[in-house]
Structure 1
């Protein structure tokens, strides 16, 4: 049964926006990405930013999904940012067939190309069955994953790795390496060109660290074994539903020290430091191509709260 996309009538926009906002809130809370008031506050900020002119926002398209008899099957929200078309909301009354998903993706690809996009991105919560059914097997790959460990486990583990606060003398080299490493990861993820990645890495680092090593809520560590540095750790303190929450912003084992179990020990150290700083949860972001890190984190009890899937055109 073929599917088509038609613009959502202007008279239905406010109703759709209220429902889509609630879906975003519910999705965040169900996945654990954002909880309580955080989920509602994020939804308000998100819609204000992505739909600044409401139904007249030129970069956004809200479409009806209809069959060949023009019966509505659901709605779809697409937003263009730069050269990337984001699939931000898919709401269907019942599961679409494989053929309907094939046709729906084909129509999204046509729209993306017409709008000048070179990629399609689909941020999805783990429980979003319709979204995963749409992208699975249709050229999308996992670009990045948000994860959380909650509550912090009580582990009785011995450690060879000694973690200490990073010195002011060590910090400039860490800053350079972190910026370059993140830019390389952005390129490897397929999300940015080398030039875009360098600019984005620099932007994020400056945003996170306006006062460098002395930025409030940021803690930096070096890890050593028998006096030899083997890695670094950067934790940023956040709030999660009104409670202290730690976020792993950077973790790295030195290239010549890998495959010795130090990555796992650094993650154990992150748990200890997070608890010392008053947090009862830790979040992190990992690129989809880094399968070894994903396996490590999931083995430690982290769970996925959101994935960003990407398809090149």
Structure 2
């Protein structure tokens, strides 16, 4: 007899919420994505946003996973967005067998079909064994990865690329190219339609750079070799566990200048600039299809702190 997914009783919601909140905090801290008080603040904001009306929130389903003997094996947290079903958490006391994972996924797919969504998205920490066991090998692909490098290494490497602050004259061309490039990447990742991607890219760029190249907490650079521009670098300063943290918002090597080591040189420059700005860690986001960049970042010592998996339906 297959497993059954049944709604969580209302009287159990507060108990589940408290335990799930702690799992989110512990998961962030264990992965290094968010640490210290940041993990607590994120968890509280996360639950406030996704469960404003508790179990009555119409876009959310908290489901018990029950076996043929009416024994509860764990819980499943689903949320429905526009054209997408989010698998937010699978919490089980013991690992599920392959057959049971097949069964759980089949029922998730049935829910997705009933809701008319086009894809399923699932955020996973690297150490989430139950989540990986459920999704890997079952049609999901890595859509995006969050990575962090800490502490910042001191590298004795020759500097053969000149990286200097971007000028106000150069900024408009950067904005146009960066906005289009990010929108194209969002479409290629399978997460957005072209129209949605264009709007999201514009929204994020305006939010990050309201004062253009002079925006406080943003550092933009151009890179050149022998006087010829070869790429750009954009760092945004953040606060991580109360300490300055740099985030690579954009890095690009001109198409004609690739495979010459300039990407690695720009990443080295990012480390130097992050340290100059007072940071002792640096993070970035990379799309799953960009395997060359992922390989470079891992060679430089970046580690994965969270992945987003996606399955098209």
Q: Find the counterpart in structure 1 of residue 247 from structure 2.
A: 247
For residues 118-158 of structure 1, give each alpha carbon's deviation from its aligned partner in whole angstroms, at most 9, with x where no partner exists: 11001000000000000010000000000000000010000
Q: Distance in 2 between matches of 1:255 and 1:233?
A: 15
Q: Distance in 1 between matches of 2:68 and 2:117?
A: 27
Q: Find the counterpart in structure 1 of residue 78 from structure 2.
A: 78
The alignment yields a C-alpha RMSD, in angstroms, of 0.7
Q: Find the counterpart in structure 2 of residue 307 from structure 1.
A: 307
Report how far residue 214 of structure 1 moved. 1.5
Q: Find the counterpart in structure 2 of residue 287 from structure 1.
A: 287
Report how far residue 197 of structure 1 moved. 0.6
Q: Find the counterpart in structure 1 of residue 29 from structure 2.
A: 29
Report how far residue 34 of structure 1 moved. 0.1
Q: Distance in 2 between matches of 1:210 and 1:86?
A: 31
Q: Find the counterpart in structure 1 of residue 100 from structure 2.
A: 100
- For the residue of structure 2 that corresponds to 1:19, the secondary structure is helix
Matches within 5 A, 1:1-313: 2-313=2-313
Q: Distance in 1 between matches of 2:182 and 2:3?
A: 41
TM-score (norm 2): 0.99
Unpaired segments ≥5 residues, structure 1: none
For residues 142-197 of structure 1, give each alpha carbon's deviation from its aligned partner in whole angstroms, at most 9, with x where no partner exists: 00000000000010000210000000000000000000000000000000111111
For residues 212-243 of structure 1, give each alpha carbon's deviation from its aligned partner in whole angstroms, at most 9, with x where no partner exists: 11211001000000000000000000011000
- For the residue of structure 2 that corresponds to 1:44, the secondary structure is helix
Q: Distance in 1 between matches of 2:50 and 2:207?
A: 21
- For the residue of structure 2 that corresponds to 1:190, the secondary structure is coil
Q: Distance in 2 between matches of 1:208 and 1:68?
A: 52
Unpaired segments ≥5 residues, structure 2: none
TM-score (norm 1): 0.99
Report how far residue 272 of structure 1 moved. 0.2
For residues 275-300 of structure 1, give each alpha carbon's deviation from its aligned partner in whole angstroms, at most 9, with x where no partner exists: 00000000000000000000000000
Q: Distance in 2 between matches of 1:237 and 1:49?
A: 25
Q: Distance in 1 between matches of 2:120 and 2:3?
A: 19
- For the residue of structure 1 that corresponds to 2:14, the secondary structure is helix
Report how far residue 210 of structure 1 moved. 1.4
Report how far residue 70 of structure 1 moved. 1.6
- For the residue of structure 2 that corresponds to 1:179, the secondary structure is helix
- For the residue of structure 1 that corresponds to 2:17, the secondary structure is helix
Q: Distance in 2 between matches of 1:208 and 1:129?
A: 35
